[in-house]
């Protein structure tokens, strides 16, 4: 390749981060719109939030694969080949677009290790944006009905996803933590008892799990 692999890697990393962020944000919005977790919605309306999530996912992939048309990189028109050694730096044309992203990680493409770093960062940022906008939405647009109402649960006692239907992530976190600390002991004991019934020692020695 006639370009610096480090420069290629920087371009790929920034483009991949944008793709992962938009896809993560969109997937989060689709999921929370289905679950009713208003504390993480980007908009105050369920349908709008869901379609916005779908649009973010589609936009992320469209931008990622179309960026070589207007952003210079190791995909100059006429230089995209099966191998990525002989490429030139520049903008791609439509004919080269399908192979523009096919760059070996040896020559600057994004390897699995870098993806394992950038994807969690983008997912955390997407969640943070969702939590921030959700808090603003709940403050500006008051919620009157949520899963806690339909299930007959006390609003102050409901935590987890149920609590997010009425509270922001920041307000819901202390409630969820109190519920966790109060119930984790029983859950741990029950889980250990259930696991022990299927333990290797009981199977070998033929002891009953009852």
The domain limits of the chain are 5-140, 147-197
Token duo for residue 77: 């028109």
pTM above 0.85, yes or no: no
* 193: CB partners within 8 A, 6+ apart: none
* 43: CB partners within 8 A, 6+ apart: 49, 52, 133, 137
Q: What is the pLDDT of residue 153?
A: 43
| pLDDT greater than 50 at residue 206 | yes
pLDDT, mean of residues 7-25: 93
Asked if 53 contacts 40 with a C-beta cutoff of 8 angstroms, the reply is no
Q: What is the pLDDT of residue 164?
A: 83
Q: What is the pLDDT of residue 1?
A: 65
pLDDT, mean of residues 195-210: 57
Using 50, 70 and 90 to split pLDDT, how confident is the model at 172? confident
| pLDDT greater than 60 at residue 152 | no
Q: What is the pLDDT of residue 144?
A: 43
Output 51 or 82, whichever has higher pLDDT. Answer: 51
Phi, psi of 74 (to 5 degrees): -80, 55
Asked if 33 contacts 135 with a C-beta cutoff of 8 angstroms, the reply is no
Share of the chain above pLDDT 70, in %: 76
pLDDT in tens, 73-131: 888 888 887 667 778 899 999 988 888 888 888 888 888 888 899 999 999 999 999 99
């Amino acid at each position: 390749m006639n370009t610096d692999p480090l420069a290629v890697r920087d371009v790929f990393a920034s483009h991949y981060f944008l793709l992962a962020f938009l896809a993560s944000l969109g997937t989060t919005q689709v999921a929370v719109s289905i679950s009713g977790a208003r504390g993480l919605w980007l908009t105050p309306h369920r349908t709008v939030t869901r379609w916005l999530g779908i649009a973010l996912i589609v936009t992320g992939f469209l931008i990622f694969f179309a960026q070589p048309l207007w952003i210079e990189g190791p995909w100059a028109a006429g230089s995209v080949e099966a191998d990525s050694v002989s490429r030139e730096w520049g903008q791609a044309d439509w004919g080269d677009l399908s192979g523009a992203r096919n760059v070996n990680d040896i020559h600057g493409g994004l390897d699995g290790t870098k993806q394992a770093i950038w994807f969690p960062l983008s997912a955390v940022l997407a969640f943070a944006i969702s939590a921030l906008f959700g808090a603003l939405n709940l403050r500006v647009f008051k919620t009157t009905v949520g899963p806690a109402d339909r299930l007959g649960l006390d609003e102050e006692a409901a935590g987890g996803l149920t609590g997010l239907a009425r509270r922001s992530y920041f307000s819901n976190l202390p409630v969820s933590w109190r519920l966790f600390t109060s119930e984790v002991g029983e859950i741990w004991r029950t889980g250990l008892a259930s696991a022990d019934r299927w333990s290797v020692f009981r199977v070998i020695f033929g002891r009953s799990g009852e």
